[in-house]
Amino acid sequence: MAHLTESQVLDVLRTIKDPDRSGDLVSLGMISGLVVKNGNVGFAIEVDPRRGPQLEPLRKAAEQAVGALPGVLSVTAVLTAHREAPAGGAQQQPAAAPAAAGHGGKALVPGVRSIVAVASGKGGVGKSTCAVNLALGLAAQGLRVGMLDADIYGPSQPRMMGIGGRPTSTDGRTLQPMQNYGVKVMSMGFMVAEDTPMIWRGPMVMSALQQMLRDVDWGELDILIVDMPPGTGDAQLTMAQQVPLSGAVIISTPQDIALLDARKGLNMFRKVDVPVLGIVENMSYFACPHCGERSDIFSHGGARREAEKLGTEFLGEVPLHMEIRETSDSGRPIVVARPDSEHAKTYRAIAARIWEKVSAGLSGGQRQAPRIVVQ
């Protein structure tokens, strides 16, 4: 297979003309964040925010042109409306972080009453499993629920929610979310194959998150659950800065190293003025399915003690259990697969407490996205 280079990709993009301006994408400086790795290509097309909704055909044309190059395995192009594209040469620098869209009383997602982030300071603590079961627990209360899989680098909600296929669009601009078990879902996992690596830089991740919020027809929702990527990087800051989050739920396991990272996640949300609704201790203990003996594999009670120390609520504990893992892997999470099980009841109880706190905040008015000031 021929070695694919950035120059080859740029040469192809020079053949794509801007329909409203005299020039091609490269000469007009509209290409940023170009990444070429092992046959996988990703780039952003920077456009004037006022033209963004009309330029989906341009994005598709660029994606298809690059996809026709020998040696290309996958192409992902995103439109970014971070700034008006310059009139000079190609700009290969990352785009500046956009201004917060939630300021001035304007909600980023019309029709969505509240948005709650489910986050963890580190990977491997079962955050996505908790997020999907909490979303289904909220839906079991009769609430209108959406799920945004913001874990761009490791989207898992399509598999956990048992959803295949790709989203459709009725107008060429707005995507219809996928749906199962009464919950609307949007994920980057619907756009790319499971084994396709996401090789995006920070600005492209930010743009993708914005588009999955802004350009999806979520309709009327009581609550949108956001399954965050682990850590305290670009995605978390983008969500905290640009989305009027009603709050964040921190998922942790009981051992000290996980709690240290959970503390970082909690403090990150507090610093950007996002209310922390509480901490959930996942994999809290292991109960043998044969003899019933309980083992505290990862210690026990650490998240409860940490919550007390940090002055936030301990929302509950979920055990390490094969049924929870098996049902999630099969696309029928335990809240819908075994609704009468103790584990499902635990998730529903935590979900009920989250909604109680969120709805109390809603009665006090819509929270506006904070400004992040770098000192």
SS3 letters across 191-218? CCCCCCCCCCCHHHHHHHHHHHHHCECC
The percentage of the chain sitting over the pLDDT mark of 70, rounded to a whole number, equals 74
DSSP state, residue 104: G
Q: What is the mean pLDDT of residues 366-370?
A: 48
Q: What is the mean pLDDT of residues 145-153?
A: 86
Q: What is the mean pLDDT of residues 253-261?
A: 64
pLDDT for position 12: 94
Other Cβ atoms less than 10 A from the Cβ of 167: the count is 18
Q: What is the mean pLDDT of residues 181-195?
A: 81
- Residues pairing with 184 in the sheet: 146, 179
Nearest to 148 by CA among 128, 124, 121: 128
- Residue with the two structure tokens 């080859």: 8
pLDDT for position 193: 65
Which range, 69-78, 180-189, 248-257, 299-308, is most confident? 180-189
**Which range has the worst mean pLDDT, 85-99, 116-130, 170-184?**
85-99
pLDDT for position 97: 33
224 — pLDDT class (breaks 50, 70, 90): very high
235 — pLDDT class (breaks 50, 70, 90): low
Cβ-proximal residues to 84 (8 Å cutoff; 6+ apart), any chain: 48, 49
Does position 98 have pLDDT exceeding 50, yes or no?
no
Q: Tell me the C-alpha distance between 149 and 157, whole Å.
A: 6
Does position 105 have pLDDT exceeding 60, yes or no?
no
What residue ranges of the chain are covered by domains with CATH 3.30.300.130?
6-80
Does position 225 have pLDDT exceeding 90, yes or no?
yes
pLDDT for position 106: 34
3-state class (DSSP) for residue 12: helix
pLDDT for position 72: 86
HSE (CB half, 13 Å, CA atoms) of 237? 15
66 — pLDDT class (breaks 50, 70, 90): very high
289 — pLDDT class (breaks 50, 70, 90): low
Does position 86 have pLDDT exceeding 90, yes or no?
no
Burial class of residue 199, CB neighbours in 10 A (0-12, 13-18, 19+): middle
Q: pLDDT averaged over the chain?
A: 77
Does position 307 have pLDDT exceeding 90, yes or no?
no
Q: What sections of the chain are H helices per DSSP? A: 6-13, 56-67, 127-139, 157-160, 202-214, 234-242, 256-271, 302-310, 322-329, 334-337, 342-362
What residue ranges of the chain are covered by domains with CATH 3.40.50.300?
103-362
pLDDT greater at residue 374 or residue 222: 222
Q: What is the mean pLDDT of residues 119-130?
A: 78
- Residues pairing with 294 in the sheet: 287
pLDDT for position 122: 58
Can you identify the CATH homologous superfamily of domain 103-362? Answer: P-loop containing nucleotide triphosphate hydrolases (3.40.50.300)
Q: What is the mean pLDDT of residues 50-74?
A: 85
161 — pLDDT class (breaks 50, 70, 90): very high
pLDDT for position 297: 57
Residue 371 one-letter amino acid:
R
Domain 6-80 sits in CATH at 3.30.300.130
Tokens standing for 59?
A: 């994005």
pLDDT for position 3: 79
pLDDT for position 195: 62
